[in-house]
Amino acid sequence: MGIKCLILEERFKNLQNKLSNYLQKLQDNANVFVLVSNEYDNDNCITYSFLDSINLCIKNGLQYINTIIVPVEKSCKFDNVKYILWFSKDKNNLIFDKDSIREKSIWKDVEWGKREKNYNPKGKDPGNVWIPTNDDGNGHITEHILMTQQQVINRIQKMSNATQVETIVDLNPIKNTIKISNDNVHNIETDVRTKYEVIFDSSENMKPIKDNSVSLVVTSPPYWDLKNYFKSGQIGQESYDKYLERMKNVWKECSRILKDDGSIWININIRVKDNYPILIPYDYVNQFKNLGLFLKQIFIWHKSSGIPTGAKNIVDRHEYVLVFTKDKHTTITVGRYNDYKNPKINETNIWNINRKAGSVGKKYIHPAIYPTELTNRIINDMTQPGDMVCDPFLGSGTTLISCLKLKRSFVGFEYNEGFKDLIISRINSDTSNNIKDVKFV
């Protein structure tokens, strides 16, 4: 009898060998789970990330289903995230026993966001961040639970409907020795001079910005072939190769304007199109490495609201934030946020930030807004008041709002000038600044 559920953990360099041993022995309907931690070098740069392992497994003929995030007991100073890469030998034969791993509903008869129609008495659709909760029965979470390795394996086996005999568990976890402190950064509030500028043009050319002048780039770029931002010539509507070529030009400009000790933070996710994964974050990492930058960290933005992915998958509840630096010695020092009712989970680089549904875009529409809480954290932790921050894809103005609130200077690009009214309306409603403080070009 072949293997129905394969659970592997291996360093990237040995993964190919290990996979080869098992591939021939898989049943046609097998599930494969590859457990991965990001691997770091002595300068605390990521040498191999979970994205490399996804790419390798796909190259070996496995079909990508999803990436599950699990916080783990502190094994190094930072990171402490296990990525469970879920593949199937043949998606058409995918086994997924959703009911066996449903998550507890914490509200009575409604789902998150008070959605009655989504309520299932058997429990919530399972998501791709595994942090079970306890609650007080009145909709309040009292504890976030750190799963043990055995609990994770049991859950994987249950969802694969596999018996002990049909499962292979072959784990060789890596030990990271990364030494990064994550003490809070103390900002010195002085009388700082700030200036704010929004340029309605393509960020493929940032000519008005001087070399080495920006301390931080924070952005969420347009995905390839996903959303329409209502203006022809926007990035995201061309072929994937052309898309990457245009993005490379933006990253090249970001790298040019970045100070030597600065960092670039990019919010992005893997995009699944027609059942096939487009590894946008993997391609960005390679582009940055080719430009001579270093991948220093990957943060997980965990959202309670999720994107449904159909009967044969778990709900998407996270996105990534990739962090690059120009100098490999630049440290990424962030504050400790108490997002979870479990101090051990607060020590990981998983941030639980929920979007305030409906707070923006009622009157003016923008289809892809990220939360100010996310940009606030990054800007507050990585810069001092007065420092220059840039967002090459400003959209509705979120990064600018954070800069106005935190007294950081800002320059941003947005291709569609039609979003100007939305940006102005957000400045007026979310900040105490006068609109004259911001120069629109």
CA pair distance 31, 235, nearest whole angstrom: 36
- Report, in Å, the least distance between residue 51 CB and ligand SAM: 20
DSSP H helical ranges for 108-239: 149-159
- Report, in Å, the least distance between residue 283 CB and ligand SAM: 17
Close Cβ partners of 354 (under 8 Å, ≥ 6 residues apart): 303, 304, 305, 371
Q: For residues 56 and 368, which CB has a smaller minimum distance to ligand SAM in the complex? A: 368
- H/E stretch holding 26 reads strand 26-36
Question: Measured on CA atoms in the order 70, 71, 75, 77, is the torsion positive or negative?
Answer: positive
**CB 332 within 8 Å of CB 325:** yes
Candidate ranges 7-15, 169-177, 293-301, 361-369; the one touching ligand SAM (CB under 6 A): 361-369
Cβ-closest residue to ligand SAM?
395
C-alpha distances (whole Å) from 298 to each of 5, 49, 50, 225, 260 are: 28, 9, 10, 24, 20
The site map against ligand SAM for 310-349 (x = CB under 6 A) is: ----------------------------------------
**CB 398 within 8 Å of CB 406:** no
Q: For residues 35 and 323, which CB has a smaller minimum distance to ligand SAM in the complex? A: 323
- Report, in Å, the least distance between residue 222 CB and ligand SAM: 4
Query: Among 251, 351, 393, 410, which residue sits at the site for ligand SAM (rule: CB under 6 A)?
Result: 393
CA pair distance 297, 79, nearest whole angstrom: 8
Query: Among 248, 303, 366, 408, which residue sits at the site for ligand SAM (rule: CB under 6 A)?
Result: 366
Query: Among 149, 416, 417, 433, which residue sits at the site for ligand SAM (rule: CB under 6 A)?
Result: 416
- Report, in Å, the least distance between residue 396 CB and ligand SAM: 3
Close Cβ partners of 395 (under 8 Å, ≥ 6 residues apart): 220, 229, 366, 368, 369, 414, 419
Candidate ranges 58-66, 113-121, 315-323, 409-417; the one touching ligand SAM (CB under 6 A): 409-417
Q: Which of 161, 190, 163, 12 is nearest to 85 (CA)?
A: 12
Q: How does strand 350-352 pair with strand 141-144?
A: unpaired
Query: Among 395, 404, 425, 438, which residue sits at the site for ligand SAM (rule: CB under 6 A)?
Result: 395
- Report, in Å, the least distance between residue 257 CB and ligand SAM: 14
> At how many degrees (to 10) do helices 280-290 and 50-59 cross?
110
- Report, in Å, the least distance between residue 124 CB and ligand SAM: 27
- Report, in Å, the least distance between residue 410 CB and ligand SAM: 13
Written as one letter, the residue type at 338 is N
* Both structure tokens of 208: 């008005």
Candidate ranges 9-17, 30-38, 395-403, 433-441; the one touching ligand SAM (CB under 6 A): 395-403
Q: For residues 224 and 340, which CB has a smaller minimum distance to ligand SAM in the complex? A: 224
Site residues for ligand SAM, 188-247, by CB under 6 A, read 202-204, 220, 222, 229, 234-235
Site residues for ligand SAM, 20-39, by CB under 6 A, read none
Candidate ranges 38-46, 48-56, 363-371, 431-439; the one touching ligand SAM (CB under 6 A): 363-371
- By CB under 6 A, is residue 83 in contact with ligand SAM? no
- Report, in Å, the least distance between residue 369 CB and ligand SAM: 4
Q: Which of 349, 298, 330 is nearest to 75 (CA)?
A: 349
DSSP H helical ranges for 171-271: 240-257
- By CB under 6 A, is residue 306 in contact with ligand SAM? no
CA pair distance 260, 248, nearest whole angstrom: 19
Q: For residues 229 and 320, which CB has a smaller minimum distance to ligand SAM in the complex? A: 229
Residue 302's DSSP bridge partners are: 318, 352
- Report, in Å, the least distance between residue 365 CB and ligand SAM: 11
Interface positions with ligand SAM (CB under 6 A):
202-204, 220, 222, 229, 234-235, 366, 368-370, 393, 395-396, 398, 413-416
